[in-house]
Structure formats: structure tokens, C-alpha cells
Amino acid sequence: MPLLEVQRAVVQFGGVTAVNDASFTAERGEITGLIGPNGAGKTTTFNVITGLQRPTRGDVFFERRKVTSLPVHRRARRGMARTFQRLEAFGSLTVRDNVRVALDIHRGLRGVFTASGADIDALLARVGISAYAAERADSVPTGTARLLELARCLAGDPKLLLLDEPSSGLDDAETDAFGDLLKELAAERRGIVMVEHDMDLVMAVCDQVHVLDFGSVIASGTPGAIRSDPAVQKAYLGYSDVEDAGDHTQELEPVPGGVA
Ligand SMILES: Nc1ncnc2c1ncn2[C@@H]1O[C@H](COP(=O)(O)OP(=O)(O)O)[C@@H](O)[C@H]1O
Ligand SMILES: [Mg+2]
């Protein structure tokens, strides 16, 4: 049984079908990519997994148990953590205090109250933002703020990490380091599901990729298989000629709405 299973999920907003009978799984110890053009339903799917959005139909299973109607905080307690496309840290607190608060919240849930300085320092170092510890969270570069979000998630020692466009705002060197960190986190037997537009990163780190288009899963497989899948190329304009030599990953960029 996979760590996470989304089974035939449908989400309708009035007349819009944001998620259309989507089924996929994510495993422990693996990085699972969820990709697709803008508006494909990726964030809505994350909301269904974490409990922010009740699906119109379908189910979510986490560690074999149906969690479809569990509230967000109960899924979190079972080991789900997510970062948001929009950043959520406390802007007026320092980077360090944001991590402290996250640790205190998670330990408070378990009855252990104060985060030690060493624990905070370890998390900051782990995601590579120790140099920004004393800065206000609203004054750091976007890439650093994203890494802070990740540190706050890791404070809860999650079994499943859901990352919504984690590399946006990171430069190339930061993205490489981030990919290495994701692999380390997966090697600890965590499951990671990542919505990501940087195809180089997706191709480099993901074990499995699911492609959403107009709310439906149009392809699932390894990055290599996904890259040469005709349905995927059709959903991503500008990436239709696999016969050419060379590196096409730069061209596999999402196009708003895909093709009609
Ligand atoms: N709360 C909402 N109410 C109405 N429509 C929504 C809502 N959230 C998302 N949508 C629509 O659902 C579709 C999927 O959106 P979203 O999940 O944000 O896509 P993605 O994250 O892949 O870009 C889009 O057409 C979007 O406009
Ligand atoms: Mg989105």
C-alpha cells in the first residue's frame, strides 16, 4: 500500500471542474512530481490531499486509512506537512523565531514544550539558511523564505511533505542544493510530493511524475517516460519534437491552459 493514494478525485467549483477523476499514488522514500500547465488543478489537488478542499467525489488514503473528510489539523498530526505557493511565515518575526514557533507548536502537540537553540540551529542549517537567522522573515529573499517554509514543515518531522512550487525564487545554485536536500529527506523514508515548474529539477530528482491537464492525470511514470510521452508533449506547447538531439528540458515549460 502506498503512503498516499488519491482515488478518483473530482473537485467542481460551480461549473468549473478543477480536478477531474484524478488518481495517483506517492510512496515512502520517493520524490513524486505533480506537473502540468497553469490551471491544471495541481494546487487544488494539494488542497484535497491536505484537507483544505473537500472533493466533490473520490477519496484520499494516507497510510492505508481513509482521510477524505478529516480536518487539516488531524491530517497534520498524522504526519502530513505542506508548503504554500504563497508564503506563510510570520513576517515581523526573525527567521530563527519562525522556526522556534514551528517547533514549539509541534512539540506542544506532543507535550514537550520548549525548543532548544540546538534544535533550531540544526533545522536552519539543514535547509541552508543559518546566515539569515537574525533577519526579519519579511526582509529575506524569496528563495530564503521558501527554505524557511520548508524548515517550518520539517519541525513537525513529517512522513509526507507536500511542496507547492518550492524552487520558485531560488537561483541555479540554490536549486541544486535544494534538490540534494530533497533527496536526503526522501532517503529518510519520507514521502515527498512536489508541484514544480522547473523541469530540470523535476527530471533530476523525481522518482515518479504524474502529469495533470485540465484536472485529469494524462500520464504517470518515471521522468524519462514522461518526457517522451506524446500526450505530455501535446499539453506542453513547444516540446513536440523528441527526435531532435540535445537537451529539451528547458523547452518543457508549462503553457497557461495548455492546448485547446
Ligand atoms: N476557489 C476556487 N473557486 C473557483 N475556481 C477555482 C478555485 N480554485 C481554483 N479554481 C480553478 O480551478 C482550476 C485549477 O486551479 P489550480 O488548482 O489553482 O491550478 P494549478 O495549481 O495547476 O495552476 C483553475 O481553472 C482555477 O481557476
Ligand atoms: Mg498552483
Distance 198 CA to ligand 2 centre (A): 13
Q: Structurally, how many domains does the chain consist of?
A: 2
Within a domain: 63 = no
User: Cα-flanking dihedrals φ and ψ of residue 60, to 5°?
Assistant: -125, 130
Mean pLDDT of the chain: 88
**Same domain membership, residue 260 and residue 219:** yes
Residue 248: what pLDDT?
42
What confidence tier does 83 reach under pLDDT thresholds 50, 70, 90? confident
pLDDT higher for 88 or 94?
A: 94
**Same domain membership, residue 173 and residue 150:** no
**Same domain membership, residue 74 and residue 203:** yes
**Sign of the C-alpha dihedral, residues 155, 161, 162, 164?**
positive
**Same domain membership, residue 214 and residue 97:** no
CA–CA distance, 162 with 32 (Å, rounded to integer): 10
Range of the domain at 115: 88-157
pLDDT at 257 over 70: no
**Same domain membership, residue 256 and residue 177:** yes
Answer whether 142 contacts ligand 1 (Cβ < 6 A): no
**Same domain membership, residue 148 and residue 32:** no
86 alpha carbon, closest ligand: 2
**Same domain membership, residue 226 and residue 167:** yes
pLDDT at 202 over 90: yes
pLDDT at 260 over 70: no
Distance 13 CA to ligand 1 centre (A): 8
- Per residue in 105-122, pLDDT tens? 887 766 666 778 899 999
CA–CA distance, 80 with 182 (Å, rounded to integer): 16
Burial 146-177 (b: 16+ CB within 10 A, else e): bbbbbbbbbbbebbbbbbbbbbebbeeebbee
**Same domain membership, residue 125 and residue 205:** no
pLDDT at 245 over 60: no
Between the ranges 51-55, 88-92, 117-121, 247-251, where is the mean pLDDT highest? Answer: 51-55
Distance 110 CA to ligand 1 centre (A): 35
Within a domain: 253 = yes
Within a domain: 216 = yes
Within a domain: 50 = yes
Distance 84 CA to ligand 2 centre (A): 9
The residue among 157, 184, 209 that closes a domain is: 157
pTM for the model: 0.87
The residue among 157, 180, 195 that closes a domain is: 157
**Same domain membership, residue 247 and residue 194:** yes
Within a domain: 4 = no
Within a domain: 15 = no
| CATH code, domain carrying 32 | 3.40.50.300
User: Cα-flanking dihedrals φ and ψ of residue 232, to 5°?
Assistant: -70, -40
CA–CA distance, 179 with 110 (Å, rounded to integer): 30
**Same domain membership, residue 181 and residue 138:** no
Average pLDDT over residues 86-101: 89
Residue 121: what pLDDT?
96
Within a domain: 133 = yes
Average pLDDT over residues 228-251: 60
- Per residue in 164-194, pLDDT tens? 999 988 999 999 999 999 999 999 999 999 9
Average pLDDT over residues 227-254: 60
**Same domain membership, residue 187 and residue 122:** no
**Same domain membership, residue 186 and residue 74:** yes
Contact 22, 36 (CB under 8 A): no
pLDDT at 141 over 80: yes
Within a domain: 74 = yes
CA nearest ligand 1 atom 27, residue: 39
Nearest atom within ligand 1 for CA of residue 85: 21
What confidence tier does 249 reach under pLDDT thresholds 50, 70, 90? very low
